Structure 1
Amino acid sequence: MKLPSKLFIALLILLLATLSTASSFWQNRISSLEHDIAELRTTLETSRLQMRRLDYPKLEEIINDCEVNLKEAQRLLTEKDDSEEAQTLIVNVVNMLNDIKPFLCESLSVETRGMWVDNFTIDTFYTQEDVAKHLDELKAINVNVIFPDVYGNGSSIYPSKVVPQKQKFQVMFEEKDVLEMIIEEAHKRDIEVHPLVRVFGLHNGAEHFIDSRSDWLDKTSEGLYTLSNGYFWLCPAHPEVREYNIAMLKELTTNYDIDGIHLDYIRYDADFGYNDFMRSLFQQLYGIDPFDIDSPRMESIFTVFKQQFVNKFIERTYYELKAIKPELLISAAVASPYSWGKNDLGQDWLNWIENRQINFLTPMSYRTTVDQYTSTVRSEINTVSSRSYIYTGLGIYLYDGSVLLGQIQGGRDSQITGQAVFSTANMKSYHYKALKDGPWRSPAIPTFRDPLNAAQILIDDSIARLQEFEPVINAEPELITEYVSIMKDISADIKSLDIRPWDTRDLRQENLDEVTQLEPITLLESRLI
C-alpha cells in the first residue's frame, strides 16, 4: 500500500532517528532546516529582484512559522533530548517547507500549457460525463491546449471512412463520437484541441496491414518487420502509405471542429527504412542496394534519402490541410535532441522550420533532472534560433512534483514560452498539486494562436512590473523611467501594426511592408539590452 507523502516523511525521519542518538539526530535536523530556511529567504529576495509576482506576505508568514516552530523544538530538546513534541514540530516544519515549493513559482498570464491526452486515458471514457470530468481536471490546472491521441496502433477512436475504428469505441459509443465529445467539452472550457495522429508508427497494431498491405510495412536492415519490441512501422516512402495518411488527416480536418493537427511518430524507427519499394528506388538512383552499403559516404546519402520522404509528407500535410482550414495549426512531437532525430530516425525537423512548413514543435525533451532538461532545452533553442515556436515536453513519468516545478522554471529561464506535459496517464496527485498550486494556478493565453496579442500583453505586463517592483530592484529612477518610456513606445507600435494573422498566413510568403513595420520595434528593443 502506498503511504501518503507526509506520513512517509514522518516515518522516514523517525526511522533515521532510531539509527542515531536522539539528541544528535534532532539537533542536526534542526541545523539542516535552519539552512533550508535561510536559502528560502534568499530565494524570495531573488524573486523580488526578478520581479516575480508571488504572494510574499503569505510566504513570509509560513517561513516565520517554521522559524518559530524550530526555536520551540530547540527549547524542548534542551529540556528533554527525546521530546516527542519537539519531534512533531520538526516534522511539521519539513512538511511546511515541502508544501511551500509550488507557491515559489509564478503563474504567468501568457504561456502555452499543453497536455498529451494519451490512449490509456481515452480508453477510460465510456460516456460524455467521463470526458467532461477529465476536461474539468485539466481546466482546474489551466491547460490551454490538448493533444488527444485519436489515431494509433493502426486504428482511430472516431468513426472513419479511411481508417478502421477501434472496436471498443464502436461498441461503447454506437452512434455517438467520442472525438466530438472531447472537442465539445474542451471548447466549453476554452481549451484548444489538436488531435494527435501517430503517422508511421503502428506499434502492435499491424493486423489491418499484415494480410493485404504487407508491402506498406517498413523493414529493418536485416529484412525484418520488427525489432525485439515487436513494433511495426509503415514505410514513409511508399506512395500508397502517404496517400492513406493524407486522406486520414484531410478527413479529420474536414469533419471536425479542431484547432490543429499534431503529428507523432513522424519518422522511422532506428534501423528501419529498408522496405522493398524503398530499396528498389534507392538502387535505381544510386546503383546500390541499401543492404550492401559499406561506406560512410553512402550511408550518409541513404540517411538524407530517407529524410526526404518525411520532409515531403510534412510539406503536403501543411499546405493541403491549410487549404481546407486556413486557421488550422500544424505541429509535431519530435525527437530530442535534434541530432538524434536527424541522424538516426530520418527526422530532420529543422528542415520543416527552415522551409516554413510547421507552426510549432514539441521536442520530447524527457530528462530525469532539472539540469539535464535545461541543457537539452537550451540546445533545442540554439538549433531553432527563434525561427519557430517550440514547447518542450515534460516527461513526468520520470520524476516527482518537485522536479516538475524545477523543469518548468528551467524552461522559462531558457526563454521558451510554454511546455507540454507527457502525459495524462502519468499524472500523479503530486504532479497535479504542484501545477495547481504553482506555475499553472492561474489561467494563461497560449502564445501560438495570436503572437501579436501575446506580445502586447507581455510588454504591458513588463511595464507594470517595473513600476510595481521599482522600490525593490534598486535601480536609478531615471533608468526605470527611460525603460518604461521605451516599452510604452514598443506597445504603441505593436498596437499600430497592420500585419497578417499568424494562424492563417502562408509562412512562405514574405511581406516587405510587414518587415518595414517591424523595424522601429526592433530598434527600440535594442535600446533595452
Structure 2
Amino acid sequence: MKHLTKFIPLVTFIILSLSISCETKSQEKSKEPKTSENSLNKEKDFKFWTWITANKTRSDESFNEEFKKYSENGLQALLINTNGDPELLARLVPIAKKYNLEVHAWMFTINRPGDKIAEQHPEWYAVSRDGKSCYDEPPYVGYYKWLCPTRKESREHILSLIEGLSKVEGVASFHLDYIRYSDIFLPIGLLPKYDLKQETELPRYDFCYCDVCTSEFEKLHHKNPKDFSNPSIDMEWKNFRLNKVKAIVDEAYKITHENGKILTAAVFPYPEMADHMVRQRWDKWNIDAVLPMIYNKFYNEEIDWIGYATKQGVEDLKGRNTELHTGIYVPQMSAEQLKEAIQQAKNNGANGVSFFDGPAITEEQWQIIKSSQKQ
C-alpha cells in the first residue's frame, strides 16, 4: 500500500502535465491562421510573384486571359490592388484559382489617396514639421495623402479596411503597402525629377507633428518635438514614430490570422535603409513575409546591389519566422539583367522574387522567368 500511495500522486502529476501541455499547444495553435490559406511555408521552392492593379470595369474574360498568361509563364502568386474593394477581390479569386495562382490582397495602407471616408476628416492626415497637412498640401506628388498612424480614428479606419479584405474567402494574405511615413529622403535617382537636394531632414518632408502625436509624445518623454532645434538626433522621437507604424502592423497581423490569412508587406530595400528614409523598421514587425522593393534604378545602383540589399534583409531577419521575397522593378531592365537580378536574389537567401509589375513584363523577360525556375 505504501508503494501504491506513492504511485497515485505520480500518476496525477503525469496526467496534469499532459493536460497542461495539450492546453498550451491548443493555445499556440489558436494563434495560427484558422484556415489552410497560409501557403508560404508549404513549398520551399523559389517563388515567383507579381504586383498588379485591377479595375472593376474589366471583363472576366480579360482577367482570364491575363491570369492564364501569368500561370503559363511560371508565376505562383498575384498581389492584387483593388483599391480596397472586397467585392472585386472576391470576383478575382476563383479566376486566379483556375490557373493555380494565389491571390494576395494588396492595399495602400497609411497613404490613402482617394479614400472618400478619410477625406471627410481633414484632421486625420499627417502634418509636417513646418505645419503643412497632407490633406491640403501633400508632399512630392498629389497622391501622397498620408494619414496619421497615431490618431485613434485614422488608425481604426485603416484597420477596418484590412479587416474587410482579410475576410474575403480564398485570399492567401493581406499585403500592406505604404506602411510607413512619407519619404523623409527620396531615392537618390528620383531627386532630379523634383529638383531637390536632400542632405538633411527637411521640415517639409518630416512627419507627423500633429497635435495628437506631439502631445502623446510629450506625456511620455516630457519634451515637445515642436521645440526641438534638430529633431533628427532625438532617438525617442524617432522610435516613437517607428513604433506607431509597428503597432498598426502588429494589429494587422492579429486581424489577418484571426481571419485565416497571413500578413505580407511591400517594404523599402533593407531595414536600416527603410529606417533612415521612411521611418520603417520592418525586421521588428510581427509579419509572415516581406517583399522589399529593391529597385536598383531608383538608387542609381547596379544589378549586384539587388543581391547586397537582399542579403542585408535576410541577415536582419535571422531568428524571426519571416520570409523575404525580393521585389524587382522590370521596366528598362534587359532580359539578361533580369536573369542576373533573379540569380542575385537566389544567391543571397531570398525565398522568391516579385516583379513590378505584371503588365510591364516583356516577352523576352517572360522567357527568362520561365527558364529561371529550372535552375
Q: What TM-score bracket applies, with the shorter chain setting the length? A: 0.7 to 0.9
Give the SS at the match of 1:407. Answer: helix
Task: Give structure 1 stretches of 5+ with no counterpart.
Answer: 1-107, 159-176, 443-529
- Greater share of residues in helix: 1
**What residue is the counterpart of 1:277 in the other structure?**
212
**What residue is the counterpart of 1:148 in the other structure?**
80
CA contact (8 A) 1:215 1:276 kept: no
2:100 pairs with 1:190: yes
**What residue is the counterpart of 2:163 in the other structure?**
250
State the alpha-carbon separation in 2 of the partners of residues 382 and 423 from structure 1: 27
CA contact (8 A) 1:209 1:216 kept: yes
- Which amino acid in the other structure matches residue 318 of structure 2? S
State the alpha-carbon separation in 2 of the partners of residues 297 and 394 from structure 1: 31
Shift of residue 116, structure 1, vs aligned partner: 0.7
Alpha carbons of 1:378 and 1:324: their partners in 2 closer, same or farther (altered >3 Å)? closer
Shift of residue 145, structure 1, vs aligned partner: 1.1
2:327 aligns with one of 375, 393, 403: 393
Alpha carbons of 1:181 and 1:237: their partners in 2 closer, same or farther (altered >3 Å)? same
**What residue is the counterpart of 1:228 in the other structure?**
140
Higher RCO (CA 8 Å, separation ≥ 6 residues): 2
- Which amino acid in the other structure matches residue 185 of structure 1? I
State the alpha-carbon separation in 1 of the partners of residues 85 and 253 from structure 2: 23
Shift of residue 295, structure 1, vs aligned partner: 4.5
2:364 pairs with 1:430: yes
State the alpha-carbon separation in 1 of the partners of residues 56 and 330 from structure 2: 20
**Displaced runs of 4 or more, over 4 A:** 295-298
Alpha carbons of 1:389 and 1:123: their partners in 2 closer, same or farther (altered >3 Å)? same
- Which amino acid in the other structure matches residue 340 of structure 2? G
2:151 pairs with 1:216: no
**What residue is the counterpart of 1:179 in the other structure?**
89
State the alpha-carbon separation in 1 of the partners of residues 334 and 59 from structure 2: 31
1:199 aligns with one of 109, 130, 155: 109
CA contact (8 A) 1:131 1:181 kept: no
Deviations 1:390-424 (A, max 9, x none): 00101112412110011111111223221111112
Shift of residue 125, structure 1, vs aligned partner: 5.4
Shift of residue 109, structure 1, vs aligned partner: 8.7
**What residue is the counterpart of 1:363 in the other structure?**
292
1:348 aligns with one of 258, 281, 290: 281
Alpha carbons of 1:216 and 1:377: their partners in 2 closer, same or farther (altered >3 Å)? same
Shift of residue 296, structure 1, vs aligned partner: 6.1
State the alpha-carbon separation in 2 of the partners of residues 297 and 248 from structure 1: 32
Deviations 1:427-476 (A, max 9, x none): 2233223223x21479xxxxxxxxxxxxxxxxxxxxxxxxxxxxxxxxxx
CA contact (8 A) 1:303 1:343 kept: no
State the alpha-carbon separation in 1 of the partners of residues 145 and 339 from structure 2: 36
Which structure's CA Rg is the greater one? 1
State the alpha-carbon separation in 1 of the partners of residues 60 and 360 from structure 2: 22
Q: How many residues of Structure 1 are paired with residues of Structure 2 in the alignment?
A: 301
Shift of residue 287, structure 1, vs aligned partner: 3.2
Give the SS at the match of 2:258. Answer: helix
Deviations 1:27-51 (A, max 9, x none): xxxxxxxxxxxxxxxxxxxxxxxxx
State the alpha-carbon separation in 1 of the partners of residues 44 and 152 from structure 2: 45
State the alpha-carbon separation in 1 of the partners of residues 167 and 339 from structure 2: 39
1:316 aligns with one of 248, 251, 270: 251
State the alpha-carbon separation in 2 of the partners of residues 207 and 248 from structure 1: 13
CA contact (8 A) 2:174 2:256 kept: no
- Which amino acid in the other structure matches residue 435 of structure 1? I
Shift of residue 144, structure 1, vs aligned partner: 0.8
1:299 aligns with one of 209, 230, 234: 234
State the alpha-carbon separation in 2 of the partners of residues 234 and 315 from structure 1: 18
Alpha carbons of 1:362 and 1:292: their partners in 2 closer, same or farther (altered >3 Å)? same
**What residue is the counterpart of 2:25 in the other structure?**
none
Deviations 1:105-136 (A, max 9, x none): xxx9922111111x3xx238511111111101
Alpha carbons of 1:372 and 1:232: their partners in 2 closer, same or farther (altered >3 Å)? same
Give the SS at the match of 2:148. Answer: coil
Give the TM-score normalised by the residue count of structure 1.
0.54
Give the SS at the match of 2:48. Answer: strand
Task: Give structure 2 stretches of 5+ with no counterpart.
Answer: 1-42, 185-205
CA RMSD of aligned residues (A): 2.3
Deviations 1:359-398 (A, max 9, x none): 1111111114321211221222222226321001011124
